[in-house]
Amino acid sequence: MINLGIIGAGYWGPNLVRNFNAHRDCTVLAVADAKPDRREFIQGQYPAVNVIADGFELIGNTRIDAVVIATPVGLHYDLAKCALQAGKHVLLEKPMTASAAQARELIDLAEQKNLRLMVDHTFIYNGAVRKVRQLIDKGEIGDVLYFDSVRVNLGLFQHDVNVIWDLAPHDVSIMDHLMADKAIAVSAIGRKHFSETLEDMAYLTVLFDSTAIAHFHVNWIAPVKVRTTLIGGTRKMVVYDDMESSEKIKVYDKGVELLTDEEARRKILVEYRVGDMTAPKIDSTEALRLMSREFLDAIAEGRAPLTDCHAGYRVVQILEAANRSLADNGKMIPLA
């Protein structure tokens, strides 16, 4: 039995409590949140849970084996560091930390203490993303030439981070999971239409140690919700539309094939194979159920989880470079 403490019971926290509670080898012992109304809400739903105000006090509870941190990102580093020092395994909400340096320090501390340090890149556990990963692993997609993501929203503003830090972690973590190439540089251009300090729309480009390219459009001020990703491979192409209820993944049996052309006036001839489209069956298990299972299994088996601290680091590294590029009008920023 793993005893769990969860810090932060805002929008996402209750989903974490519900999912961890559903696993029989785990007990949510305590939940911490600074806001009285959130504590009241959790206590009402889970009378047996110890609900307190202070996250550090929760970490001090010696019966707790592992801590889940779902606070605003600005608090991640201090809480995670404290928890690791106290010998607890840690699961952090995305993005992992507010800087790559913080992420690096936590990684080193977790390794030194031999503790699990995981990041909740939820989408990686989603049936659609798992299906695309399977297709890539089986070689059906071929080499990924581009990853093009649009995530536009009519949602509420986040006030502590800009639109890239709010929305892009989803897509950057998916890209990191699906693409084998190493990201080497980042460019981002954005606009602050409704704030002095925070971009409400932005375009993010990532270059790799190959000819591949990734591009992300994130936007808080759009008229419609769009969550569409195009993945262009040499053998097949994928359209992933997360707003589609029944056909989230469409696999196009259309690659690009180079033919030598005898005619003098054409240098190259490219012929498209135009074949069938398949919308494969997608497992509809809640992603958070699999994510929470993975954290518990990684603890029990003493192994790195699927979305480990290194994936968390890579995502933060890209977000951090994006902020520097935003401040310099889209200048290309190399990744260390």
Task: Name the site residues for a copy of itself (rule: CB under 8 A).
Answer: 145-146, 148, 150, 152, 154, 156-157, 159, 187, 189, 191-195, 197, 201, 203, 205, 207, 211-213, 215, 217, 219, 221-225, 230, 232, 236-239, 243, 245-247, 250, 252, 254, 256, 258, 266-270, 272, 274-281, 329-332
Per the DSSP assignment, residues forming a β-bridge with 255 are none
Residues 6+ apart with CB under 8 A from 118: 89, 90, 91, 92, 294, 295, 298, 305, 307, 308, 309, 312
Nearer to a copy of itself, 5 or 232 (CB): 232
C-alpha torsion 116→90→289→158, nearest 10? -140
Nearer to a copy of itself, 109 or 214 (CB): 214
The least CB distance from residue 186 to a copy of itself, in Å, is 11
Nearer to a copy of itself, 5 or 8 (CB): 8
The least CB distance from residue 109 to a copy of itself, in Å, is 30
Amino acid identity, residue 78? Answer: D
> Quick one: angle between helices 309-327 and 100-113, nearest 10?
170
The least CB distance from residue 43 to a copy of itself, in Å, is 14
Residue with tokens 């994130």: 218
Q: Label residue 317 left, alpha or beta by phi (over 0 means left) and psi (-120 to 50 means alpha).
A: alpha
CB 97 within 8 A of CB 169: no
How many angstroms separate the CA atoms of 58 and 4, rounded?
Answer: 10
- 32 phi/psi in degrees, rounded to 5: -120, 135
Helix (H) or strand (E) holding 27: strand 26-32
The least CB distance from residue 122 to a copy of itself, in Å, is 21
Nearer to a copy of itself, 86 or 184 (CB): 184
Q: Is 242 helix (H, G, I), strand (E, B) or coil?
A: coil
How many angstroms separate the CA atoms of 135 and 143, rounded?
Answer: 11
The least CB distance from residue 330 to a copy of itself, in Å, is 5
DSSP 8-state assignment for residue 308:
B
DSSP 8-state assignment for residue 263:
S
Tokens (6 digits) for 205: 């480009």
The least CB distance from residue 226 to a copy of itself, in Å, is 8
The least CB distance from residue 133 to a copy of itself, in Å, is 17
Tokens (6 digits) for 305: 């989880």
The least CB distance from residue 275 to a copy of itself, in Å, is 6
Nearer to a copy of itself, 121 or 217 (CB): 217
Nearer to a copy of itself, 104 or 250 (CB): 250
Nearer to a copy of itself, 85 or 234 (CB): 234
Nearer to a copy of itself, 252 or 313 (CB): 252
